[in-house]
Structure 1
Amino acid sequence: MNTRHLEGKVVAVAGATGPAGRATLRRLAAAGATVIAADIDAQNLEAATDAVRREVPGARISGQVIDLLDPQEVHDWADHLEAEHGHVDGVFHLVGGWRGSKSFFESRIDDWDFLHDRVVRTLQHTSLAFQPALVRSQAGRYAMISASAAHKPTAGGAAYAAAKAATEAWTLSMADSFKKETTAPDGEPTAAAAILVIKALLTPEMRAEKPEAKFTGYTETAALADALAGLWDRPAAELNGQHLWLTAR
Structure 2
Amino acid sequence: MHAETNGGPLDGLVIAVAGAAGPAGRAALLRLAGAGATVVAADADPTRLAEAVEAARQAHGAKVIGDTVDLLDLGATRAWADKTEKEFGRVDGLVHLVGGWRGAPSFAETDLKDWDLLEKLLVRTVQHTSLAFHDALLRGGGTGRYALVSQAGAHKPQAGNAAYNAGKAAAEAWTLAMADSFRKLGGEDGPQAAAAILVIKALVHDAMRAERPNAKFAGFTDVQDLADEIAGLWERPAQEVNGQRLWLTPEP
TM-score, normalisation: structure 2: 0.94
Partner SS, residue 241 of structure 1 = coil
Residue 221 of structure 2 is matched in structure 1 by 219
Matching residue within 100, 103, 109 for 1:100: 103
Q: 2:127: which partner in 1?
A: 124
Q: Distance in 2 between matches of 1:207 and 1:115?
A: 26
User: Which amino acid is the alignment partner of residue 233 of structure 2?
Assistant: L
Counterpart of 2:237 in structure 1 is 235
Quick one: which of 125, 149, 157 aligns to 1:153?
Answer: 157
- How many Å separate the matches in 1 of 2:44 and 2:208? 25
Residue 42 of structure 1 deviates from its aligned partner by 1.1
In the TM superposition, residue 34 of structure 1 has moved relative to its aligned partner by: 0.3
Q: Is the 8 A contact 1:53 1:59 kept in 2?
A: yes
Gaps of 5+ in 1: none
Structure 1 segment 173-184 matched on structure 2, within 5 A: 173-182=177-186
Alignment-derived partner of residue 169 in structure 1: 173
- Given that 1:190 and 1:236 are in contact with CA atoms closer than 8 Å, whether structure 2 keeps it comes out as yes
Letter in 1 for 2:153: A
Q: What's 1:51 paired with? A: 55
Matches within 5 A, 1:60-209: 60-138=63-141, 139-182=143-186, 187-209=189-211
Misfit runs of 4+, over 4 Å: none
2:125 counterpart letter in structure 1? T
Q: Hey, what's the Cα distance between the residues in 1 that align with 2:71 and 2:215? A: 36
* SS of alignment partner, residue 233 of structure 1: coil
Q: 2:152 is matched by which residue type in structure 1?
A: S
The question of whether the paired residues in 2 share the 8 Å contact of 1:202 and 1:215 is answered with yes
Shift of 1:84: 1.2
TM-score normalised by L of structure 1: 0.95
Shift of 1:208: 2.6
Give ranges in structure 2 of 5+ residues lacking alignment: 1-5
**1:59 CA displacement:** 4.5
Moved more, 85-94 or 203-212: 203-212
1:29/1:59 contact within 8 Å kept: no
Distance 1:208 1:107 in 2: 32
Q: Deviations over 1:189-244 (max 9, x none)?
A: 12100000001001111123333432111000000000001101111111100000
Q: Distance in 1 between matches of 2:21 and 2:238?
A: 28
SS of the aligned residue for 2:85 comes to: helix
Distance 2:214 2:45 in 1: 34
Aligned residues between the structures: 245
**SS of alignment partner, residue 69 of structure 1:** coil
